[in-house]
Amino acid sequence: MNEQLTHENNAFEAKEFPIILLSETVLQPANTGSLFRLADAFGVKKIYLPEGINLNSNRLKRTARATIKSVEHSFFFSIEEIVAHYKQVGYKIYCLEITEESIAIERIQLQTESKILLVVGNENFGISSATLKLADACIHITMFGQNSSMNIAQATGIALFEITKKLSQIKKK
């Protein structure tokens, strides 16, 4: 009979992927907490959060569970500096945003050595145009309903799933 495994009994192999998650302006504590949970679940190397995010928020801590302690994170003041640094060390900058030129996430091409900085935006306004200009590419999630957007945590989860799936398949070859 199939029974749910406890945390102690799960057989998942811990992995870390060369993925940096940059939260441009995610404001809701529950969404920020979810980003920590997702980063842990998908082996994200580090999260950058805007200065001023309160990691002591009860809502954020409840949603993140203990992942604030296990996921490396820093606060940033300048997105431009973060992006410039990661470009210099070989990262591709992807913004998770629907634009006129965005690529469906399932169509992005990754290589074994791919290193990714994934920028996610504000719950209501997305990613700023200034930040979009810094990206190597914008990627979007193909959707089939009437709405043209989704919750930032859900979108980030889908994006991280697609990216880590592609990177895992490349490494198996």
| Each residue's pLDDT tens digit, 138-150 | 999 999 999 888 9
Residue 8 pLDDT: 65
Residue 30 lies in a domain: yes
Residue 9 banded pLDDT, cuts 50, 70, 90: low
Q: What percent of the chain has pLDDT over 90?
A: 78
Q: Residue 136: inside a domain, yes or no?
A: yes
10: in domain: no
The range of the structural domain enclosing residue 43 comes to: 17-141+150-168
On the question of pLDDT at 63 being above 90, the answer is yes
Quick check: is 81 in a domain?
yes
Spatial distance between the Cα atoms of 90 and 140, rounded to a whole number of angstroms = 22
Q: Is residue 118 part of a domain?
A: yes
Domain tally, the chain: 1
Question: Residue 161's Cα: distance from chain center in Å?
Answer: 10
- Mean pLDDT value of segment 74-79: 96
Kindly state whether residue 3 falls inside one of the protein's structural domains. Answer: no
Using 50, 70 and 90 to split pLDDT, how confident is the model at 110? very high
HSE-up of residue 136 (Cα within 13 Å, Cβ side) = 17
Q: With contact defined as beta carbons under 8 Å apart, do 160 and 19 qualify?
A: yes
Q: What is the CATH number of the domain that holds 47?
A: 3.40.1280.10
Distance CA 4, CA 101 (A): 43
Read off the pTM: 0.92
Question: Do the domain assignments include residue 95?
Answer: yes
6 within a domain of the structure (yes/no): no
Q: What is the mean pLDDT of residues 79-91?
A: 97
